[in-house]
Amino acid sequence: MTTMNSQTGAASPTDTVSLRLWRPSVVTWLLLGIALLVSAWPFMESLAWLWESWSGSEEYSHGVIMPLLTVFLIWTRREQLEETRLGGSWAGVVLVVVACLLYAAGRLAALHVIDNLGFWLLLCGIALAMTGLQAFRIIALPMVLLLLAIPLPTFFLNNISSTLQTWSSQLGVAVIRFFGISVLLLGNVIDLGQYKLEVAEACSGVRYLFPLVTIGMLMAYLYHGAWWKRVVIALSSLPLTLLMNSLRIGSIGVMVDRWGPSLAEGFVHEFQGWAMFMLTGALMLGLLGLLHRMGGATMSWREAFGIPPPAVRPPGTSVTAVPPPRPFVVSVVIICLVAVLGEFVHAPKPVHPARQAFVNFPDRIDGRDGRRQGMNAEFLDALQLDDYLLSDYVGADATVVGLYMAYYNDQQTGRSVHSPKSCLPGGGWVMTQFGQRRIDNVSIGGHPLYVNRAIIELGNDRQLVYYWFQQRGRSITSEFSVKWYLLQDGLLRHRTDGALVRVITPLPVGSDLAAGDARLASFIRAMGSSLPDYVPN
């Protein structure tokens, strides 16, 4: 505050400038601690799964530090927050309510990502209800960065990985050919003649993609230059990851051709991956330095990139302890009520329709004799299914149709049908074609049967696959639709049972693809009438 001379209107030389800072009171901090502790209780199972994803998956290993990084980035903006009056916002209460609904939806849809998004939204709601819209804008970007720690659904992640595998293989082969080496690409297998290299899922680059995207977002946040430069550096992680991973694959191919396959294994292989990751990060930093020199930037590099030093407060600065805003108090009450109700109010008992066990499923279908197989305990532990059938049906012409059905009485969080889009790439198979097809003269629940049709390859082996999700009278081809109907039927019908049905036939070299399609379609028509006895509508 500046006082003026009553006669001249000029500022007195003895005047001082005062600044008021706004800080949460002790009661506000206490309520915040209660809100965080209580809110974690209903999400405990999802948070435990999140921790397992961070500690057991290289793709999301960066997630361990993301909460601490978010807190640190908010702390770096503490001076701006202190200069902004904390008024709370009722929009935060709305976010808290929506987060609680997302939690319920995630449990019914058996999708951890919804639970985790619900918890993230709950944290945003608590922060917004406590600080108000003006102050929340200051911490919005660190809160968005926290989203990068949430794993994507498995089927979505595998789709990304499969695409990156294909692109990396093609670009890697281009690098090998640049050095004059004759090479053949079969799916994701690089054939060098004497040696063959498989661009496996682990080599797709997806395990480095999310950490590098996080680094790009962090660089963009810490850079204080033009907004378009921040956007460029944030997006640069995507093409740079693909490019560097392709160079890694190409260099491995060249070294294997020159010095043998030992250079594609063990320490050398792992070191190459680490080196490419570090080099990609360095290239992103170099790109940021280049962007900084463009457009006539007036700030020095130290001023433009990094954490600003603590501000020097003027004399006379006062501190006001802000009591808990009403929206914040209401949010804490809602969170406590939801946690308590979650312990005493239980969902309706799920409905389990009567069905026959797969042990009674016909062993002769479409003139083919079935040869049943069992699954190893490790696969059964991972799938957590209630009933399954795995059988090869062999015809008189020696052609084979493999049938796999997995049934679940309840599909809750962490326990649901596994899509072949997720499982087949994990076994090394590559989907070279994918689409949908209608099976004539077959109906499920009064509707025509549509199936996913895929051609998969592993080296020189090729197979034709049809699969669909048989879910409470519906034949579904989309993984997203499966989750939606789980939510809908869980709420309205108290049913989350369902199954995956997959039929598969080998396609030997020189075989007719149309004959394979006809073989699977005929088999499905023959088994379709008996299917509702084992997978109820």
What tens digit of pLDDT does each residue of 196-229 get? Answer: 776 655 555 667 788 888 899 889 888 888 889 9
| Separation between Cα atoms, residue 167 and residue 169, nearest integer Å | 5
Sign of torsion, CA 121 127 128 133? negative
> pLDDT at residue 134 above 60?
yes
Tokens read off for 258:
């020159």
Q: Which of 97-106, 257-266, 334-343 has the lowest mean pLDDT?
A: 257-266
pLDDT digits (tens, 9 = 90+) for 337-390: 888 877 766 656 778 899 999 999 999 999 999 999 988 887 787 788 899 999
Mean pLDDT computed over every residue of the chain: 83
In the predicted model, what is the mean pLDDT of residues 44-71? 85
Q: What pLDDT band is residue 114 in, cutting at 50, 70 and 90?
A: confident
* CB-side neighbour CA atoms (13 Å) of 78: 10
Q: What pLDDT band is residue 2 in, cutting at 50, 70 and 90?
A: very low
Q: What separation in angstroms does the CA of 148 have from each of 72, 226, 305, 385? A: 16, 23, 22, 31
pLDDT digits (tens, 9 = 90+) for 518-536: 999 999 999 988 888 999 9
The candidate with the shortest Cα–Cα distance to 78, out of 156, 135, 130, 1, is 135
In the predicted model, what is the mean pLDDT of residues 242-252? 85
pLDDT of residue 13: 43
| Separation between Cα atoms, residue 140 and residue 390, nearest integer Å | 50
Q: What pLDDT band is residue 297 in, cutting at 50, 70 and 90?
A: low
pLDDT of residue 450: 93
The amino acid sitting at 418 is H
| DSSP-based three-state secondary structure for 86 | coil
Q: Which of 189-193, 254-258, 492-496 has the lowest mean pLDDT?
A: 189-193
pLDDT digits (tens, 9 = 90+) for 75-97: 888 888 888 888 889 999 999 99
pLDDT of residue 245: 83
Which value, to the nearest 10 degrees, does the dihedral of the CA atoms of residues 64, 65, 70, 76 take? 170
In the predicted model, what is the mean pLDDT of residues 301-328? 80
